[in-house]
């Protein structure tokens, strides 16, 4: 039976439309960093590179290579950790050109460095994209976090962040970093903005 993250990990990927507290475990990711407007062609190319590696692992058995512990699964959704440059933080207006990001796709626990090397080998054989040199494989642990489901346009996210900040203040919490995580459950290239579903997440800790 195929592992479906939407069904098996609902607490991580299908939160309610109001803020809640959750502890996120260590997870493995393909990650690529960048700066600037996410509406740029470069951003789209970086997404493509991440998916090419993710699908290379997913389809390995069909290429004659089955990693130890492999199981059938649905490829995980795109995620992003977002921050602003110092200039962007000091500005009175939000400028997407001042965004700093790490976009990523989670990988199943069976994925090891050897499996990753094989994935790079398969992708390069098909098309040796120079952006592959910028992709890293790493383990990230968000830990204690406040998250909620945001419905609609990315431009309306401040409304959800306002709710999250209120929840943080009312529960004796504080953000550990300025940046936040987004998980994209819908493809912005194929879905109209009013129907987008995005998990928003702040990393937090209890105030001392």
Task: Give CATH superfamily name and number for 5-143+178-189.
Answer: Regulatory factor, effector binding domain (3.20.80.10)
The span from the CA of 163 to the CA of 168, in Å, is 9
pLDDT of residue 102: 97
pLDDT of residue 37: 92
Burial class (CB in 10 A: 0-12, 13-18, 19+), 151: middle
pLDDT of residue 15: 97
pLDDT of residue 183: 98
69-126 per-position pLDDT tens digit: 999 999 999 999 999 988 988 888 888 889 999 999 999 999 999 999 999 999 999 8
Q: What is the pTM of this model?
A: 0.94
- Of 159, 164, 162, 166, the closest CA to residue 148 belongs to 164
159-174 per-position pLDDT tens digit: 999 999 999 999 999 9
Whether the Cβ atoms of residue 186 and residue 197 lie closer than 8 Å to each other: yes
Q: Where are the domains of the chain?
A: 5-143+178-189
Contacts of 9 (CB under 8 A, 6+ apart): none
17-67 per-position pLDDT tens digit: 999 999 999 999 999 999 999 989 999 999 999 999 999 999 999 999 999
Helix (H) or strand (E) holding 137: strand 136-151
């Amino acid at each position: 039976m195929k592992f479906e993250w939407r069904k098996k990990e609902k607490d991580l990927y299908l939160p309610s439309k109001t803020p809640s507290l959750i502890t996120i475990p260590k997870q493995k990711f393909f990650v690529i960093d960048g700066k600037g407007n996410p509406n740029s062609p470069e951003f789209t190319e970086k997404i493509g590179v991440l998916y090419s590696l993710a699908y290379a692992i997913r389809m390995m058995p069909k290429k004659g290579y089955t990693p130890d512990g492999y199981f059938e699964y649905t490829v995980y959704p795109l995620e992003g950790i977002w921050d602003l440059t110092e200039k962007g933080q000091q500005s009175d207006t939000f400028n997407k050109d001042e965004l700093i990001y790490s976009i990523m796709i989670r990988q199943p626990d069976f994925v090891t460095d050897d499996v990753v090397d094989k994935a790079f080998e398969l992708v390069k054989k098909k098309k040796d994209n120079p952006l592959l040199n910028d992709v890293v494989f790493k383990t990230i642990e968000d830990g204690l976090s406040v998250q909620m489901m945001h419905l609609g346009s990315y431009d309306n996210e401040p409304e959800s962040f306002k709710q999250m900040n209120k929840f943080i203040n009312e529960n004796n919490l504080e953000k550990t970093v300025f940046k936040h995580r987004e998980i994209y459950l819908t493809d912005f290239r194929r879905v109209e903005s009013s129907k987008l579903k995005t998990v928003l997440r702040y990393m937090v800790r209890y105030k001392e």
